[in-house]
């Protein structure tokens, strides 16, 4: 038998554990790993080994839960020396993107993808109305149907639907039986939710046709898994990769029943090797049905394949001090083989202003120490609404930054609504220099106002096409904005909204002084607008926080025109700064698989982190993910009087009366 030589990576020296994974001849292998133990790099080594021993990259499929994890795996392959053209040939995709590609008909148009709760809301109400109109309902006394406009019901329903599809509980347990109150209870949901769910799915799937009307988040995975569960096989899917030699799954702890059903079909329909890697303490998608149970004996039970297991134990990303803190949080031993140590410090603040000052000081110190190498610094947030004051300070200090997992607050819809009204009031749309921002601004005006575009002779055309045409016209000629607002928005909204808009424009045109924007928002009755438009409680809270931050910043300006020009200049400045090496301002959940030299995690305070609306275990895992992105330094910022419960779990004193030196 010919000797198999290990692939020799560039820039790293693999450990014995990594080499064992890279060279393993096991057909089915699961890697139990800790955070920072180089999971993604180790998968890249296994892929590189397969390529150098003759496997065409096209016959290797690597699946992840998020697009960010896909990018991290591609970066890891390049880092260890796999040529970029070869990296591009590996099939690397999120589960949902892979499933959408498998379901796509060769000559048909792609299924519409809808990703926001606001856009899904009409279909939920249509489902509610179907249930309400059903005269043959057997248990009407069990139904608790919502009143029109109940955003809380929509939010709760869509969250339940995401979990029910991820777990596939209804599909696995229904056995073609009727929907009864007892059955709904067995599923762990209400009878009303179950009835609306089934009606919603009939609408989405066009009364159970082959091609759905639309897909929401992760629906492609669910649709494929459901088809397989109902008896379809890989043979019925024209695009199915039948000649795969290797399948890999990164972040395997994020798998749910739907993605596992797809994985089963891949393993059953090919003779491929399989390698999955995960960390049971990084499950942060429990609301999607994610469960580390699929890292257990599920593959053996469902496919008959024996599973070999190998560990990736010590951290290579961070040193002993951070490993100790991570071990405290995860309640397990944690070691490090990193050649460097990782400083850990806790800084305390009394209010948001002091927290932002502390962040700015850390940013400036890093900027000086690294001579402007800002890309190694990340500020990780639990909620997007926490970015406003930080972004304003970064812009004021001339610090380049990019955002990940959310839009800059300058481009969030509620802020774009204000910018749009100010553009109309000042008749100065051309100062918005970026065409894409002009488009987003117009869409925000239509979205919040609930306007319908009306064009004589074009009544047969869709609102989508009419709006796209209007956007092109105004984007090309900003002078048309005032006419569009006057002739299309004001006449085509509800009378109450029309009055709000007119009052807000009057304030913007006539008022002066530091409270101008606050008065504009009051005239607009922005709290009511936000309640009417947004479904999610957290999204409504974030929107109001964004606008409160905007209003606070506007106090430094004497008129609406001055502040409007400032916002446009700030966006332009942010875009210009972004072209240089930039600090990363990100949602924690969006940086899984990534690493940074210095990580800051602010707002560790009661009511903020952990989020009281989320399971505590999931919040702890989220903090664990954020902390373990750091290589050289981790800085935590906690409220001095109301620290997060996690602060004590990390080993700090209950009373955080002073900033702590690096641990």
- The helix/strand/coil state of 148 is coil
203 within 8 A of 121, measured Cβ to Cβ? no
Does the annotation flag 40 for ligand binding? yes
Give the residue among 334, 329, 252, 333 at the shortest CA–CA distance from 293: 252
> Does the model's pTM come out above 0.85?
no
HSE value, Cβ hemisphere, 13 Å, CA-based, for 230: 14
Residues in the chain, how many?
663
With contact defined as beta carbons under 8 Å apart, do 156 and 165 qualify?
no
Average pLDDT for runs of 10 along the chain of length 663: 80 90 95 86 95 95 92 94 96 96 87 90 91 88 79 85 95 83 91 94 89 94 95 89 95 94 95 93 87 94 96 87 89 82 95 95 93 90 90 87 87 87 83 81 83 78 77 79 83 88 88 86 90 82 86 82 82 70 90 90 94 88 92 96 94 60 46
Instruction: Spell out the residues 6+ positions from residue 145 whose beta carbon is closer than 8 angstroms to its own.
Output: 128, 131, 132, 192
Half-sphere exposure (Cβ direction) of 72: Cα atoms closer than 13 Å: 25
Instruction: Check the annotation: does 48 bind a ligand.
Output: no
Say whether 628 counts as a known binding-site residue: no
pLDDT at 147: 72
492 is in an annotated binding site: no
Please give the Cα distance from 30 to 529 (Å, whole number): 50
Known binding residue 66? Answer is no
Query: Which tokens in the block code for residue 516?
Result: 């101008």
Handedness of CA 512, 515, 517, 519 (dihedral sign): negative
| Distance, CA of 32 to CA of 29 (rounded, Å) | 10
Residue 34 annotated as binding site: yes
CA nearest to 379, candidates 356, 396, 395: 356
pLDDT at res. 116: 87
84 is in an annotated binding site: no
Q: Measured between alpha carbons, how far is 342 from 479 in angstroms, rounded to an integer? A: 55
Q: Does 378 appear as a known binding residue?
A: no
Q: What is the 3-state secondary structure (H, E, C) of 175-226?
A: CCCCCCHHHHHHHCCCHHHHHHHHHHHHHHCCCCCCCCCEECCCHHHHHHHH
Helix (H, G, I), strand (E, B) or coil at 645: helix
């Amino acid at each position: 038998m010919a000797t198999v030589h290990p692939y020799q990576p560039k820039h790293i020296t693999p450990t014995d554990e990594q080499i064992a994974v890279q060279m393993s001849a096991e057909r089915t292998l699961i890697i139990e790993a800790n955070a920072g133990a180089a999971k993604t790099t180790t998968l890249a080594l296994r892929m590189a080994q397969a390529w150098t021993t003759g496997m065409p990259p096209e016959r290797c499929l690597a699946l992840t839960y998020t697009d960010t994890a896909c990018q991290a795996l591609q970066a890891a392959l390049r880092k260890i020396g796999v040529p970029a053209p070869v990296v591009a040939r590996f099939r690397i995709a999120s589960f949902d993107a892979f499933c959408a590609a498998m379901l796509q008909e060769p000559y048909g148009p792609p299924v519409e993808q809808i990703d926001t709760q606001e856009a899904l809301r009409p279909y939920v109400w249509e489902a509610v109305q179907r249930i309400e109109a059903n005269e043959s309902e057997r248990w009407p006394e069990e139904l608790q149907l919502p009143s029109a406009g109940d955003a809380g019901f929509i939010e709760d329903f869509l969250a339940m639907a995401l979990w029910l599809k991820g777990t596939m509980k209804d599909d696995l347990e229904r056995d073609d039986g009727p929907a009864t109150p007892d059955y709904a209870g067995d599923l762990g949901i209400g009878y009303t939710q179950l009835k609306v769910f089934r009606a919603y799915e009939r609408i989405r799937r066009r009364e159970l046709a082959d091609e759905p009307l639309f897909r929401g988040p992760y629906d492609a995975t669910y649709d494929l898994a459901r088809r397989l569960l109902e008896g379809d096989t890989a043979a019925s899917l024209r695009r199915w990769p039948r000649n795969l030699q290797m399948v890999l799954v990164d972040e395997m702890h994020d798998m749910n029943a739907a993605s596992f059903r797809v994985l089963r079909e891949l393993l059953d329909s090919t003779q491929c090797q399989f390698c999955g890697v995960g960390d049971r303490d990084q499950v942060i998608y429990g609301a999607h049905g994610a469960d580390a149970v699929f890292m257990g004996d599920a593959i053996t039970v469902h496919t008959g394949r024996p599973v070999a297991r190998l560990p990736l134990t010590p951290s290579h990303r961070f040193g002993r001090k951070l490993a100790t803190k991570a071990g405290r949080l995860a309640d397990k031993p944690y070691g490090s083989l990193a050649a460097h140590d990782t400083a850990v410090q806790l800084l305390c603040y009394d209010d948001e202003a002091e927290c932002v000052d502390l962040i700015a000081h850390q940013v400036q110190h890093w900027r000086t120490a690294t001579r402007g190498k800002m890309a190694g610094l990340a500020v990780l947030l639990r909620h997007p609404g926490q970015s406003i004051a930080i972004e304003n300070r970064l812009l004021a200090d001339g610090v380049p930054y990019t955002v990940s997992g959310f839009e800059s607050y300058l481009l969030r819809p509620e802020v774009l609504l204000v910018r749009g009204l100010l553009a109309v009031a000042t008749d100065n749309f051309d100062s918005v220099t970026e065409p894409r921002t002009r488009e987003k601004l117009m869409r925000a005006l239509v979205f919040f106002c609930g306007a319908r575009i009306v064009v004589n002779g074009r009544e047969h055309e869709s609102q989508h096409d009419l709006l796209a045409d209007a956007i092109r016209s105004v984007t090309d000629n900003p002078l048309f904005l005032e006419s569009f607002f006057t002739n299309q928005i004001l006449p085509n909204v509800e009378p109450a909204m029309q009055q709000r808009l007119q009052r807000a424009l009057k304030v913007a045109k006539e008022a002066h002084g530091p409270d101008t924007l606050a008065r504009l928002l009051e005239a607009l009755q922005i709290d009511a607008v936000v309640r009417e438009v947004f479904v999610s409680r957290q999204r409504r809270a974030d929107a109001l926080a964004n606008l409160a931050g905007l209003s606070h910043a506007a106090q430094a300006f004497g008129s609406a025109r001055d502040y409007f020009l400032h916002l446009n200049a700030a966006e332009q400045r942010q875009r210009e700064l972004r072209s240089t090496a930039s600090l990363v301002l990100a949602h924690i959940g969006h940086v899984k698989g990534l690493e940074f030299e210095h990580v800051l995690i602010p707002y560790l305070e009661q009511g903020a982190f952990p989020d009281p609306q989320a399971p505590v275990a999931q919040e702890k895992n989220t903090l664990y993910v954020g902390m373990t992105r750091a290589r050289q330094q981790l800085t935590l910022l906690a409220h001095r009087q109301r620290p997060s419960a996690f602060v004590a779990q990390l080993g700090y004193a209950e009373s955080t009366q002073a900033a702590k030196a690096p641990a």
